[in-house]
Every structure is written in C-alpha cells, then in structure tokens.
C-alpha cells in the first residue's frame, strides 16, 4: 500500500472522523516523512506519516507527541488533534499563515519573533528524552556502520573538534529544545512565528537551538548578535562564543544525519551531497583563527 493510500485508510481512526468525506493532498518540503493536508468536517489538518526507520535517526514518536503538545500549549506549535498508535501518525491542526522566506528570515522583526518563540519553548516543560549534539553524532556513526554506509574520512577530524568543544563548554541546565530549526519549519501566522515538526525534540542545550537556527540560515555576525540579544536581553562574548561553537556542532549533526539517511531513505534527495556540504562548513569554521578564541571565551 502506498503512503498516500495508507494515510487515507488511517483517517477513520481519528476520533470523530470515521465515514466523513474528506480531501487529501500531499504537502511537499519534507525529506524524512510524508505529510498530507486534509480538509474534513470544515477543518484543515496536517497528517504526518512517519518514516519507517525513524528510530535509526534518533526519533521517538512518543516523545515527539509529548513535545508537540507542550509546544502547542506554549502557543508555538500547532494544536495536536490526534496521535495514532502504534503507527506513530500525528494529526495536527493546519496553521494558517505564510512560510518564512529566505529573505524574510533575516529581517529584525523575524529574528525577534523566532527569539520569542524559542524563549517560550525553552520554558515549556519537560519530555522524557535528552538531546546531545555530542552523543548523536557518535550514535549516527555507529548506525551508519550497521547499515554498511561508509562514514566519510572527515568524521575523524570533526570528532576531534567535537571533543575539544565538549571539553570547553560549561554544562548548563537542560531545557526543551526543537533541534531542527530549518526554514521549512517556521510559519508566520500574522502575529507570531510558529514552529512545526517536533520529531527531534528533547531536553538539551538551548544554545544548540540558537546555533542551529543561526547556521541553518547563515546569519552574518551582526544578525546573529541581534538574534542572540533578542533572546537573552543582553549577550556578552562568552555567549556569542558558545553559539559559534554550537554552530559547528549543528553542522556536524546535519552531516552525520545525511550519512545515515543514505542507508535508509527512499526519498529522491541527494543525502551524500547534503552530508558533504555540512562537513565542509564545520571544518571551515573550526579551521579559522577565531575558533581557538571561542574555546577560550566559553571556558
């Protein structure tokens, strides 16, 4: 059964939906799961069919469900309508709004909106899962080996960089983090920035979220500083350095995520090129003279 037919068959399991007429269309943009826009009984919803091997990427669907509910309660994530077990299908209300364009993400009002959304999320509650950029890259390397996917030679150098960063960073209390702040996961509803897709959520370092957003959108120094100050209220050199180091770790995670995807995904996407891009970017960042200064500043 195709993913689309499977999604259609599962809709009758959503409480109150059995037998109701509905329209279903595929939503583009995802490179892990398959998403559908469903109009039924006067409402519009998103039905997410999870990747069958999502656990190999570190995804726990029960944790995602809990994080999605906390995000909704915080006014950041979409309302959770249903969670279908054991399939792990998540049904949320469709957020009416506009995608945040590549140009708009660099505007001061957008940076303030994202910072405000992340502050709400980071104080939204607790889920029974942790997220560490340092551990996930090791997990991905092990998983790639079990899938007979070749780990690029750049991994060894990147792992040495990660060890330096982990040793330098003071430990901070964990908070609920999204950990996948790609542009496609932001929606401007006209009054605030909303964030969708909580499958990588866990209790972690808030600076990973901040850096993940900054590096995914390639914020230049002035915009990054503005964003960090919008989040913290006031940011000094040590906070800026911590964000810069976590930018390196974000690229490392993305690179190894791309390596694992080479062994499990059937989507039409060049995961090898994706991994190579992020390896090149992290090694370039760690190779600049300011990297050593960042290590000193955070310590």
Whole-number Cα distances in Å, 188 to 36, 64, 211: 20, 22, 21
Sign (positive/negative) of CA torsion 247, 141, 121, 198? positive
Whole-number Cα distances in Å, 46 to 76, 236, 246: 16, 41, 32
Listed in sequence order, the residues at least 6 apart from 241 whose beta carbon sits closer than 8 Å to its beta carbon are 293, 294, 295, 297, 298
| pLDDT at 33 exceeding the cut of 80 | no
> What is the rounded average pLDDT for all residues in the chain?
94
For CATH 3.90.1200.10, the residue range(s) in the chain are 98-298
- Side-chain half-sphere exposure of 255, counting CA atoms within 13 A: 30
DSSP β-bridge partners for residue 43: 40
Percent of all residues in the chain with a pLDDT value above 70, rounded to a whole number = 96
What is the Cα 35 distance to its own chain's centre? 16
| Average pLDDT for 155-171 | 97
| Average pLDDT for 267-274 | 91
Collapsed DSSP state (helix, strand, coil) of residue 81: strand
Measured distance CA(286)–CA(278) in Å, rounded: 12
Measured distance CA(127)–CA(198) in Å, rounded: 12
Measured distance CA(103)–CA(244) in Å, rounded: 22
| Average pLDDT for 171-177 | 96
Cα radius of gyration (the chain) = 19
| pLDDT at 1 exceeding the cut of 70 | no
| pLDDT at 31 exceeding the cut of 70 | no
DSSP β-bridge partners for residue 38: 24, 45
- CATH number of this structure's domain 3-93, picked from the four choices 3.30.200.20, 3.40.47.10, 3.60.15.10, 3.50.50.60: 3.30.200.20
CB atoms within 10 A of CB 147: 15
Check if the beta carbon of residue 283 is closer than 8 Å to that of residue 157.
yes
Helices vs strands, H then E, count in the chain: 10, 10
| pLDDT at 29 exceeding the cut of 70 | no
Check if the beta carbon of residue 217 is closer than 8 Å to that of residue 144.
no
- Each residue of 2-28: pLDDT tens digit? 555 566 778 889 998 988 999 999 887
pLDDT band at 40 (very low <50, low <70, confident <90, very high): very high
Among 170, 218, 196, smallest CA distance to 117 is for: 196
DSSP β-bridge partners for residue 141: none
| Average pLDDT for 158-179 | 97
Measured distance CA(60)–CA(199) in Å, rounded: 7
Position with higher pLDDT, 19 vs 44: 44
Q: Would you state the pLDDT for residue 75?
A: 97
- Each residue of 223-246: pLDDT tens digit? 999 999 999 999 999 999 999 999
For CATH 3.30.200.20, the residue range(s) in the chain are 3-93
Where do the H-state alpha helices sit in 56-204? 61-73, 108-122, 133-146, 154-168
| Average pLDDT for 34-56 | 88
Check if the beta carbon of residue 251 is closer than 8 Å to that of residue 278.
yes
Q: Would you state the pLDDT for residue 3?
A: 54
Check if the beta carbon of residue 161 is closer than 8 Å to that of residue 169.
no
Q: Would you state the pLDDT for residue 267?
A: 79
Per-residue DSSP letter, 130: B
CB atoms within 10 A of CB 18: 9
| pLDDT at 212 exceeding the cut of 50 | yes
Measured distance CA(79)–CA(169) in Å, rounded: 36
CATH of domain 98-298: 3.90.1200.10
Q: Would you state the pLDDT for residue 2?
A: 53
Q: Would you state the pLDDT for residue 32?
A: 67
- Each residue of 103-154: pLDDT tens digit? 999 999 999 999 999 999 999 999 999 999 999 999 999 999 999 999 999 9
pLDDT band at 193 (very low <50, low <70, confident <90, very high): very high
């Amino acid at each position: 059964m195709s993913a689309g037919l499977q999604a259609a068959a599962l809709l009758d399991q959503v409480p109150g939906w059995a037998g109701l007429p509905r329209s279903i269309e595929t939503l583009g943009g995802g490179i892990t799961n398959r998403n559908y826009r469903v109009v039924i009984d006067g409402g519009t919803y998103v039905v997410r069919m999870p990747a069958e091997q999502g656990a190999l990427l570190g995804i726990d669907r029960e944790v995602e469900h809990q994080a999605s509910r906390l995000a909704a309660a915080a006014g950041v994530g979409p309302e959770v309508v249903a969670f279908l077990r054991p399939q792990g299908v998540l049904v949320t209300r469709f957020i009416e709004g506009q995608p945040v364009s590549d140009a708009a993400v660099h505007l001061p009002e957008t940076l303030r909106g994202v910072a405000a959304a992340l502050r709400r999320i980071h104080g939204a509650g607790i889920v029974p899962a942790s997220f560490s950029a340092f551990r996930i890259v090791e997990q991905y390397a092990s998983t790639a080996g079990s899938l007979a996917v070749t780990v690029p030679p750049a991994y060894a150098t990147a792992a040495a960089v990660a060890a330096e960063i982990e040793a330098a960073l003071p430990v901070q209390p964990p908070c609920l983090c999204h950990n996948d702040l790609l542009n496609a996961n932001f929606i401007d509803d006209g009054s605030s920035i909303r964030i969708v897709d909580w499958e990588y959520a866990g209790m972690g370092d808030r600076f990973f979220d901040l850096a993940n957003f900054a590096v995914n959108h390639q914020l230049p120094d002035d915009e990054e500083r503005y964003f960090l100050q919008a989040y913290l209220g006031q940011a000094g050199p040590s906070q800026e350095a911590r964000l810069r180091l976590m930018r390196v770790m974000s690229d490392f995670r993305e690179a190894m995520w791309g390596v694992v995807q080479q062994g499990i995904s059937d989507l039409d996407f060049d995961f090898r090129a994706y991994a190579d891009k992020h390896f090149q970017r992290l090694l370039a960042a760690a190779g600049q003279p300011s990297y050593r200064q960042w290590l000193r500043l955070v310590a």
